[in-house]
Amino acid sequence: MSARSCQVVILAAGEGKRMRSAMPKVMHPVAGLPMLGHVLAAAQATGASRVSVVHGPGAASVADYAARAGAEVFEQAERLGTAHAVLAARSALTDPADDVLVVYGDTPLVSGATLGRMREALANGADLAVLGFTAADPRGYGRLIVRDGALAAIREQRDASTEERAVTLCNGGAMAFRGPGMLALLDRIGKANAQGEYYLTDAVALANTDGKSVVVVETGEDEVRGVNDRLQLAVVEALWQLAARQRAMAGGATLVAPETVHFAYDTVTGSDVLIEQNVVFGPGVVLEDGSTVRAFSHLEGARIATGAMVGPYARLRPGAEIGARARIGNFVEIKNAGIGEGTKVNHLSYVGDASVGPHSNLGAGTITCNYDGIGKHRTEIGAGVFIGSNSALVAPLRIGDEAYIGSGSVITEDVSPGALAIGRGRQIEKPGWVARFRARMAAARQSTRQSD
């Protein structure tokens, strides 16, 4: 990237009425991250040193989210158009960076690389660069009016002539301005159009009258798809997932049925990873090289070390750290727990707020009872431990290395290394009891019949 400085203004004051939601539109997630988060990431990726987010009245969640991401926050009190929205961030533009990018918060698939190409256009001498694409159906988009190979104007749908409406080269909704002079340009934009709004897109015609160089940077239609309703949200999600699956496979992961695997925005997959059908990733999952996730598993906030195998039907919740070559089997839930190298938790278990050393075996139905209704407590299980099936481990608890727990135990006290602990009723046997029982019952029936 060039040595030119860069700042980004994200317009996020959309009402999002068609979402029919209590949540501002840009907070709706794509791959588990608010749309605004995707756009903020693209801004960061293109090297912006300053990011401003313009939100609508009362959109506290947008303001909080942007501020937490380190952006400056501006409120556009009245929704008077895209140029008006940029000017809501006026104080961020009085001493502008060399490159000022304006992007829309509801087009979350725009990449940092594409924004970088727009910056390159400025570095190569353009004064203004517009992100363009060829629309399969251009209705609703601003048309890019090209004359003699140069971008002369952008005409919004409602203001376009029949001839202009036939143009399929459209405005994708991102513009790169040369910083110095930008404010003066935007201040000249009027609202003499069909919607009576201050259109940012009018900057193109104005720049041309000043003899400035205005260029189009083209990209594919999918990258600039906007979200105005839930259907478009699903379309964008599907596109994002498609790209994520391709990235995972390109990185050496086998996806047996890629269309059934749902990644989060930050899922990391190594090489020789195997992901079976119908696996869902929430945020924060890392699959190291050579790990396997079997069918119908749900993972979030988990790390799976090399050679480990999880599922089918496993649930890993935040803080699950699965050691190398460990086995987490069907109907097992792990939360905030480290599972040691080579350790097996193969069936029907809950391990929460715990640590388990290497080469231990937790039998079917092992439960860490971590919650007493008020607080959470830890269970620490050593190396080479054997927990018999259907044991309840009542935390806080320590089980030493090489210890054994008898099946069906309720363990409430620490167990020393190498010891056997059994916490259950002792089995008793009554020889010949069944015959005596049957004789007693038969006699009782006889006497009731006689008294009838």
Q: What single string gives the DSSP state of each residue in 248-314? A: HHHTTEEESSGGG-B--TT-EE-TTEEE-SS-EE-SS-EE-TT-EE-SS-EE-SEEE-TT-EE-SSE
Based on the shown chain and the rule CB under 6 A, indicate whether residue 85 belongs to the binding site for ligand UD1. yes
- Sign of the Cα pseudo-torsion (95, 99, 103, 108, in order): negative
Based on the shown chain and the rule CB under 6 A, indicate whether residue 176 belongs to the binding site for ligand UD1. no
**Beta strand 128-134 pairing with 214-218:** parallel
Based on the shown chain and the rule CB under 6 A, indicate whether residue 138 belongs to the binding site for ligand UD1. no
Based on the shown chain and the rule CB under 6 A, indicate whether residue 170 belongs to the binding site for ligand UD1. yes
Query: According to CB under 6 A, which one of 27, 87, 106, 178 is a site residue for ligand UD1?
Result: 106
Q: Which is nearer to ligand UD1, 234 or 441 (CB)?
A: 234
Query: According to CB under 6 A, which one of 32, 47, 132, 142 is a site residue for ligand UD1?
Result: 142
User: What is the spatial distance between Cα 351 and Cα 393, in angstroms, rounded to a whole number?
Assistant: 10
In degrees and rounded to multiples of 5, residue 232 shows phi and psi of -65, -30
Based on the shown chain and the rule CB under 5 A, indicate whether residue 132 belongs to the binding site for Mg ion. no
User: What is the spatial distance between Cα 99 and Cα 368, in angstroms, rounded to a whole number?
Assistant: 56
Q: CA geometry: angle at 320 spanning 314 and 324, to 5°?
A: 85
In terms of Cα–Cα distance, which of 320, 344, 348, 323 is closest to 334?
Answer: 320
Query: Is 377 an annotated catalytic residue?
Result: no
Residues 218-277 that bind ligand UD1 (CB under 6 A): 226
Q: Which is nearer to ligand UD1, 139 or 449 (CB)?
A: 139
Based on the shown chain and the rule CB under 6 A, indicate whether residue 84 belongs to the binding site for ligand UD1. yes
Q: Residues 190-229 vs Mg ion: string with x where CB under 5 A? A: ------------------------------------x---
Residue sitting closest to Mg ion (CB):
226
Residue 137: CB minimum distance to ligand UD1, A? 12
Q: Which residue blocks in 88-193 are alpha helix, DSSP H?
A: 112-123, 162-165, 182-187
Q: Which is nearer to ligand UD1, 36 or 403 (CB)?
A: 36
From 55, 84, 262, 347, the catalytic residue: 347
Q: Which is nearer to Mg ion, 225 or 344 (CB)?
A: 225
- Sign of the Cα pseudo-torsion (39, 226, 83, 129, in order): positive
Tokens of 244: 């994520």
Based on the shown chain and the rule CB under 6 A, indicate whether residue 79 belongs to the binding site for ligand UD1. yes
User: What is the spatial distance between Cα 262 and Cα 143, in angstroms, rounded to a whole number?
Assistant: 35
Residue 142: CB minimum distance to ligand UD1, A? 2
State the residues that interact with Mg ion by CB under 5 A: 226
Catalytic residues, which ones? 347
State the residues that interact with ligand UD1 by CB under 6 A: 11-14, 54, 76, 79-82, 84-85, 104-106, 141-142, 154, 156, 170-171, 173, 199-201, 226
